A and B are shown apart, each in its own frame.
Chain A
Amino acid sequence: MDPMNYIVLAAIVFTIGAVGVLVRRNAIIVFMCVELMLNACNLAFVSFARMHGNIEGQVIAFFVMVVAAAEVVVGLAIIMQVFRTRRSASVDDANLLRH
């Protein structure tokens, strides 16, 4: 098996995540799809690290995980706040800046 398979799998998962971000309108599901894309990138980093015999890919993947954790905290707090004021978690309902 070619190690590039992992990269192709990462591309597929990334695309699925991107489709989810474009299609779904529940903010929490959109957020989960963003996490999906981040995870796909991590898989690519880890398999690149193995391909090149260099640990840096794993180090970058570790940093991505830390940043993703921080992002989840702030993003979910924002979703909570929007839900509290607008009683809806749909990304279509938060359109005040549009008008």
Chain B
Amino acid sequence: MTAAAAQATALAAPVSGAESAAFWIIGTIVVLAAMGVVCSRKPVYSALMMAVVMIGLAAFYGINQAPFLMVVQIVVYTGAVLMLFLFVLMLVGVSSADSLVETIRGQRVLTAVIAVCFLGALGLGLTRIAVAEPAGLAAGTAAAGGNVPWIAGEIIYRYVIAFEATGALLVTAVLGGLVLAHSERLKRRRTQKDLSQERVRGDHVAPLPAPGTYARHNAIDMPALLPDGSVAELSLNPVLTARDPRYQSRVPDDVRLGAAPEPGGASDSATSKEGHALREGPNGDGDSGAAVADGTDGDGGGTAGGQGAGRSWTR
């Protein structure tokens, strides 16, 4: 990869020393961060790496005489789009498990071959192009009275049809987002009366044990302890359970002493699933649907309720 770039450097005269230094420093950061986006196991880390890439590219836009695009990159991409990604990550939740096991045999090898071929073809083609010293935008910018007036003139006069079409596209995207994010209430809203009747008929009349009860901490990620010192399964937050197969990573050893059932064991998945269904109950809409969905992906996906024992999940 860098060999091609180095060859390209050897071909032509430097634009300026400072720019060259900035290119190599920021370029290294951008490439490393881009690899981090692909390789990191947790989606949140990927998003943060993405922010690094975008800010690095914004710096490149600034260097390449595009101050308007630099600001747009930071405001729109790093500010808005990436925050939207993080929002969805938080909504989808840490239990959106991503298996790192290959499902298609030889997928990684083939991907590597394709990537090398693609990069080789691109590098071969690009380094054959002999470019003169860049023409630069200084003259045109001065004539138009600035970078922004120049871009504005092009957009408003020359690309006005594309601009209008972009407006239509944005409106369509807004409507699409509204329609897709909206979900109809399929069943009648359950009132407080229904909920209390359900609770009396169910297994647990009293509330579920709160996290941290009888434990040394009352944090949400600490399990409640039963009087004999064992971990109360019902107090475990399903999201946290899905996140950490050992239930909670920071449970002190003396809290763990009560020998919680092994994750993925038969009794464990049954109880945790039951706990999950009960927990879903008071939430309101579509609880039975959620329970059914849980039951089906218990064997295939194992997201919220039972953990897939033999597979390694990322967060």
Contacts and interface: CB of A to CB of B under 8 A. Distances in A.
A40 B162 CA distance: 22
Nearest to B314: A26
Contacts of A25: 98-99, 103
B183 A13 contact: no
A91 to B, nearest CB: 10
User: Interface of chain B, helix or strand or loop or mixed?
Assistant: helix
A73 B98 CA distance: 22
Contacts, number: 279
- Chain A CB count within 10 A is highest, among B50, B61, B76, B134, for B134
B131 to A, nearest CB: 6
A71 B127 CA distance: 32
Contact of B297 (A51, A77, A79, A86): A86
- Chain A CB count within 10 A is highest, among B8, B34, B89, B96, for B34
Interface string A16-36: 111110111110110111011
A16 B31 contact: yes
B54 to A, nearest CB: 7
Given A12-B31, A69-B76, A53 B85 contact: no
B34 A16 contact: yes
B195 interface: no
Contacts of A49: 64-66, 137
B154 interface: yes
Given A62-B72, A65-B73, A73-B177, A50 B65 contact: yes
B140 A89 contact: no
A46 B60 contact: yes
Contacts of B127: 4, 8
B43 A11 contact: no
A89 B92 contact: yes
Given A4-B129, A18-B118, A74-B180, 6 more contacts: A19-B111, A23-B107, A32-B85, A50-B65, A62-B155, A88-B303
30 contacts: A1-B9, A1-B23, A5-B5, A5-B9, A6-B64, A8-B122, A8-B123, A11-B119, A12-B1, A13-B31, A15-B118, A16-B38, A18-B114, A25-B99, A28-B92, A31-B85, A32-B50, A43-B61, A52-B134, A53-B135, A59-B154, A65-B73, A72-B84, A73-B84, A76-B85, A78-B180, A87-B301, A88-B97, A88-B301, A90-B301
Interface of B: 1, 4-5, 8-9, 11-16, 19-20, 23, 27, 30-31, 34-35, 37-38, 43, 46-47, 50, 53-54, 57, 60-61, 64-66, 68-69, 72-73, 76-77, 80-81, 84-85, 88-89, 91-92, 96-99, 103, 107-108, 111-112, 114-115, 118-119, 122-123, 126-127, 129, 131, 134-137, 139-140, 144, 147, 150-151, 154-155, 159, 162, 166, 169-170, 172-174, 176-177, 180-181, 183, 290, 293-294, 297, 300-301, 303-304, 314
Q: Which 8 A-B pairs have CB atoms at the shortest separation, nearest pair first?
A: A53-B135, A70-B173, A77-B180, A1-B20, A20-B38, A26-B98, A2-B12, A89-B96
